[in-house]
Amino acid sequence: MSLVERLEQDMKAALKDREKGKLRLSVLRMARAALKNAEINRRRPLTEEDVIEVLAREVKQRQDAMEEYRRLGREDAAARLQEEIAILEEYLPARLTEEEIRELARDAIAKTGAVGPRDIGKVMGYLMPQVKGRADGRRVNEIVKEMLEAL
């Protein structure tokens, strides 16, 4: 079953749960709207990779907003966003651990022939398609930069 079909089925289940599934229903509706907008913008049906990319972007937006709410002392809003993130992450592939990212980065450095920090663009260009939707790009960049500086 595709991710879009799973979203639709879960949305129907959340509709039936009424009060209990209210937050879930809201998040799933926002996710489906984001997917529909992406489909319209791209002028073609979305592939599974496209769906993962859109959902990962939705998670990232919520994480950024959550950080800002916490900075402003709005723990209630941050907690709600954390719940939304948890719902969206159910539809994403498992997150990569730091060690898995480091292993992929080592491989990317070796395959691109990077020799120092100036080659970060080559390494990131090679690495990001492999970790898309499974790791935060900012964290991947930090790890690659650290590894290249150690060369």
**pLDDT value at position 133?**
77
Q: Are residues 110 and 65 located together in one domain of the fold? A: no
Choosing from 70, 89, 108, the residue where a domain stops is: 89
Query: Mean pLDDT for each consecutive 10-residue tract of the chain (151 residues)?
Result: 90 85 91 95 91 91 94 94 94 91 94 90 92 86 92 81
Q: DSSP states of 18-81 as a string? A: TTTTHHHHHHHHHHHHHHHHHHHHHTSPPPHHHHHHHHHHHHHHHHHHHHHHHHTT-HHHHHHH
Q: Are residues 74 and 110 located together in one domain of the fold? A: no
In terms of residue numbers, what domain contains 57? 3-89
**pLDDT value at position 123?**
93
Structural domains of the chain, count: 2
- This prediction has a pTM of 0.79
Q: Are residues 17 and 85 located together in one domain of the fold? A: yes
Q: Are residues 68 and 133 located together in one domain of the fold? A: no
**pLDDT value at position 18?**
79
For the chain, the residue count is 151
46: phi then psi, degrees, rounded to nearest 5: -80, 140
Q: Are residues 74 and 117 located together in one domain of the fold? A: no
Q: Are residues 84 and 102 located together in one domain of the fold? A: no
CATH number of the domain that residue 28 is part of: 1.10.1510.10
